Every structure is written in structure tokens, then in C-alpha cells.
Amino acid sequence: MATLEELASLVKGKVVGDGKLELTGVSGLDTAQPGEISLIASAKALPAARESKASAFIFPSNLREFNFQGIEIDNPRMAFAQILWYFYPKKKYAEGIHPSAVIGEGFQHGPGCHIGPLVFIGDRVKLGKGVVIHPGVVIQDDVEIGDDSEIRPNVVLCHGTKIGNRVLIHPGAVIGGDGFGFEKTSDGRHLKVPQVGCVVIEDDVEIGSNVTIDRATTGQTLIGAGTKIDNLVQIGHNVKVGKDCIMVAMTGVAGSTKIGDRVTLAGQSGINGHITIGDDTVVFVRGMVISSLPPNSIVSGQPARPHGEDMRIQAAAGKLPELLKTIRQLEKRVAELEGKLN
């Protein structure tokens, strides 16, 4: 429980209404109950806010005239996230190793680590302080995991993977599986190319459920600090991803591509191999990038092209049935005129 005044102080917002109002939780507009605070992110949410049972709201300054009680702040979404963390703090795990865990030789770990049931840890694995390993995780030989990282159930970290500090990996991800490397032989078969590199995940990265990041053929596949990867993303061998990127669900990045800093790849984006994506580029949903892009590009379509150009093409494509009908009518008239001339 917290007062409205306490929550406003937490997020550095302005109290509107009774600062002593006691709040028991935070919820969405449609599910909030009396005593809870909710979010009005923009004017579009006003009808739902008027129907909401919430006792207080987090809202931007330009909605002040609607006389909501709550917290006025420039970035209401950020404040909402902070208040969620206040009411639902990160779970703390007791230090210790479950007796069902299988631990290899040369295992090292810092203080405060928690290793859950049925975990497998190979040889020469190193964990920093405060690392949490959930049930069913497989950690192969020579893996290193930095301080305060959390590996959730059924993740597989293949041999030699390097994980930084404060990394969160969601269930079912496979980090460091073999890259897809084959050479065609003279008799038409496919010879596997040994994948002897590794994967390096830098600090403050979050990796979603069932993500696969392939180890490099040689050298490293690299995910830069602060990057956030949604569920069901595939990253090929020897890819280099920069810092603070966003990669949304079902995106695929082919091998040896270099992605700059602060790049956004929207859902189901497809990125060709051996190309470079410049810093601060945005690829819209289902964009298919087949060649390198300079920094600050905003692209969409298949193949990806500047977003404005692609929108014009899409608009024109929507008129094709009408245009085809007009062409058929013109062909008919031309044929009639030719018949008269003949």
C-alpha cells in the first residue's frame, strides 16, 4: 500500500487531488478496482478512463482539464512501469544449490547464487554474484555468466557462451547452438562446417522465450549491451548486434550481418546475410531487407525500401483492380475503333 503522494514522489510527478489517498495496487483501466491506480497514456484512453473504477490515474499534462485525480507527469508510461515495479518487486531467491542439480568439475560461483532443481552445469562454468538459475536449465562446459543475471526454466546455454551482467533470458531460449553452415560436395551432398566460435551477450540484455542465437563458425556472435530481444527471434552465426537495439517477435537475421546501435526490427522482419544495418534504423513489420542500409533509415516492404515510397506503392497496388477494369474497357474500345477503320 502507498499514498498517492508517495507514488508521485517515487516517479517525480505532480499530485493532483488528495495526496493522502491510499492505493493498494495498480491495474489496467478495464480491470482496475477502487483503491487502485491506472494509466491514461493519451486522449484515446479517456472514454475507458471515465468508465474505470480506478481511484486515481497517471496522466500527461495535456489532459489536466479533465479533472482526474492522480499523478500528472510528462511520461506517464514510464511512471506506470515504475509503479508496477513498486507493487510487484522482483522476486528474491534464497542462496543455495538444489540437491538434484548436477554440477561438473571446476565450477565457480559468487555469493548469493540460486541454482534450482534439475539444473545441469558442465565443467569449468563460472557464475558471478547473485545469479539465479531456474529449474531445467542446461549450462554446458566453459560458460560464464555475469553478476545478477537470471536464466529462466529450460534455457540451454551451449559450450563457451559468455553472458554479461544483469542479463535476463526467458524460458526455452537456446544460446550458442551450431550455426547453419554447410558446403555442397561434388556429389550433391551437404558437408557440415564445424561451428567452433561462441556467443557473447553483453550487459543488460533481455532475451525472450524460444529465441535462438547461433554460435559463430569462428570468432563471436555478439549481442550488444542493452539490447532487448522478443520471443521467437532467430539470429544466425557471426551476427553482430549493436547496443540498445529492439528486435520484435519472429524476426530473423541471417549470418554475418552487422546491425548498428539503437536499431529497431519490427515483428517478422527478415534481414539478409552479410549486410550492414546502420545506427538508428527502423525496419517496419515484415520488412525484408536484402541490402545494406545507411544510418537513420526508415524502411518497409518486400523488398524493403524507404517507408514513404513503400506506402505509395501499397496505395497504388490497392487501385490495381480498378485500373485493370479500365484497361479492359479501353482495349475493348480500341478493338471497336480498329474494326470500324478496317
Q: 68-81: string of b/e by CB count within 10 Å (b at 16+)?
A: bbbbbbeebeebbe
What digits encode the pLDDT tens for the residues 139-172?
999 999 999 999 999 999 999 999 999 999 999 9
What is the CB neighbour count within 10 angstroms for residue 277?
26
CA separation, residue 89 to residues 5, 12, 124 (Å): 19, 19, 33
| Residue 321 clears pLDDT 70, i.e. is over it | yes
Whether the CA torsion 49, 55, 61, 63 is positive or negative: it is positive
CA 91 to chain centre: 22
Instruction: Tell me what the mean pLDDT of segment 45-50 comes to.
Output: 92
- Assign 87 to helix, strand or coil: helix
Q: What is the mean pLDDT of the chain?
A: 95
Asked if residues 174 and 156 have their Cβ atoms less than 8 Å apart, the reply is: yes
Does residue 98 have an active-site annotation? no
What is the CB neighbour count within 10 angstroms for residue 156?
20
Instruction: Tell me what the mean pLDDT of segment 204-228 comes to.
Output: 98
Asked if residues 39 and 33 have their Cβ atoms less than 8 Å apart, the reply is: no
As given in the structure block, the three cell numbers for residue 151 are 536464466
What digits encode the pLDDT tens for the residues 249-279?
999 999 999 999 999 999 999 999 999 999 9
What amino acid occupies position 331?
A: E
What is the pLDDT, as a whole number, of residue 323?
87
What is the pLDDT, as a whole number, of residue 338?
84
Instruction: Tell me what the mean pLDDT of segment 265-294 comes to.
Output: 97
What is the pLDDT, as a whole number, of residue 320?
85
What is the pLDDT, as a whole number, of residue 319?
87
What is the pLDDT, as a whole number, of residue 144?
98
What is the pLDDT, as a whole number, of residue 341?
84
pLDDT-derived band at 339 (thresholds 50, 70, 90) equals confident
What is the pLDDT, as a whole number, of residue 231?
98
All residues at 6 or more sequence positions from 342 whose CB lies less than 8 Å from its CB, including other chains: none
Instruction: Tell me what the mean pLDDT of segment 182-211 comes to.
Output: 97
pLDDT-derived band at 217 (thresholds 50, 70, 90) equals very high
All residues at 6 or more sequence positions from 274 whose CB lies less than 8 Å from its CB, including other chains: 254, 255, 256, 257
Question: Which one has a higher pLDDT value, 341 or 251?
Answer: 251
User: Which of 114, 134, 170, 237 is the catalytic position?
Assistant: 237
pLDDT-derived band at 64 (thresholds 50, 70, 90) equals low
What is the pLDDT, as a whole number, of residue 260?
98
What is the pLDDT, as a whole number, of residue 28?
95
Asked if residues 196 and 257 have their Cβ atoms less than 8 Å apart, the reply is: no
